[in-house]
């Protein structure tokens, strides 16, 4: 630990499995006069029991079976402290889920030391931080998830889509079109797959955004 610790260092709780990497993270953070690791690395179950008021919680969500769902538990245990995710998990969907769960920042353990310090200081001061290398990955992932505006739907598929938008049930569509319920269910599943959506609400939104609803519907 540095012998010239700042008078009021930023207090850090490190939530992670105890191993060589996490011990190395602690040692690295403590090299900085403005930071003080007051607990950890500690497993999540033990960390949330600590009677401390840290300025920031640095957590590896991979240390918990709950993944990003660990973040609300940390907020409950340390309501005054923002959470910075520090992990090896670089899946854009996990990053987005963590930020949606309330993480103030997300940085990989492979980041440059300067990035980690910047992330800790930024999040501890109330800001948000996303490692630059992850930003483009998230943008690409969102683009992959987005429905393709150029999807070519057959006339029958467009008609079913319009009926779904108007609130018809699968059974009602089958009766009006003179086909079996199984046929409608299959066509509806195909619509979901082609448009890259999961729910009826997303189908409705897609139809409206791409002018596929009947006038006045």
HEC secondary structure over 113-137:
HHHHHHHHHHHHCCCCEECHHHHHH
Question: What is residue 217's predicted lDDT score, i.e. its pLDDT?
Answer: 39
What domains appear along the chain, each with residue ranges and CATH number? 10-143 (3.40.50.2300), 155-209 (1.10.10.10)
Phi, psi of 132 (to 5 degrees): -50, -35
Global pTM reads 0.62
Which pLDDT score is estimated for 2?
A: 46
The whole-number pLDDT of residue 151 equals: 60
In this prediction, residue 204 carries a pLDDT of 76
pLDDT tens readout for residues 125-137:
988 898 887 876 6
Among residues 128, 126, 208, the alpha carbon closest in space to that of 164 is found at 208
Cis peptide bond N-terminal to 41, omega within 30: yes
In whole angstroms, how far apart are CA 207 and each of 62, 107, 181, 210?
39, 37, 22, 5
Please report, for residues 17, 18, 23, 117, 164, the alpha-carbon distance to residue 202 in angstroms, rounded to integers and kept in the order given: 40, 43, 46, 40, 11
Residue 133: name the closest of 111, 101, 118 by CA: 111
- The pLDDT value recorded for residue 148 is 52
Q: What φ, ψ does residue 36 adopt, rounded to 5°?
A: -140, 115
The whole-angstrom distance between residue 58's C-alpha and the CA centroid of its chain comes to 16
Return per-residue pLDDT of the chain as tens, 217 residues: 444 556 788 899 999 988 898 899 999 998 988 898 999 898 999 999 999 999 999 999 988 888 888 999 999 999 999 999 999 988 888 888 888 888 999 999 988 888 999 999 999 998 889 888 787 666 655 545 555 555 667 777 788 888 888 888 888 988 888 888 888 887 887 777 777 777 777 777 777 766 666 544 3
């Amino acid at each position: 630990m540095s012998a010239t610790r700042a008078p009021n260092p930023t207090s850090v709780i490190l939530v992670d499995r105890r191993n060589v990497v996490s011990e190395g993270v602690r040692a690295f953070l403590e090299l900085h006069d403005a930071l003080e690791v007051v607990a950890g690395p500690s497993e999540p179950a033990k960390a949330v029991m600590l009677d401390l008021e840290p300025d920031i919680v640095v957590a590896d969500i991979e240390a918990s079976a709950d993944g990003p769902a660990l973040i609300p538990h940390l907020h409950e245990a340390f309501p005054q402290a923002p959470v910075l995710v520090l992990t090896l998990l670089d899946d854009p969907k996990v990053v987005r889920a963590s930020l949606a769960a309330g993480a103030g920042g997300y940085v990989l353990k492979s980041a440059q030391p300067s990035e980690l310090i910047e992330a800790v200081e930024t999040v501890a001061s109330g800001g948000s931080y996303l490692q630059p290398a992850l930003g483009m990955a998230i943008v690409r992932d969102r683009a992959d998830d987005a429905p393709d505006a150029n999807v070519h739907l057959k006339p029958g598929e467009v008609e079913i889509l319009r009926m779904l938008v108007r609130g018809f049930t699968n059974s009602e569509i089958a009766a009006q079109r003179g086909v079996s319920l199984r046929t409608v269910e299959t066509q509806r599943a195909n619509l979901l797959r082609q448009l890259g959506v999961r729910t009826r609400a997303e189908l409705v939104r897609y139809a409206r955004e791409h002018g596929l609803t009947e006038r006045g519907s």
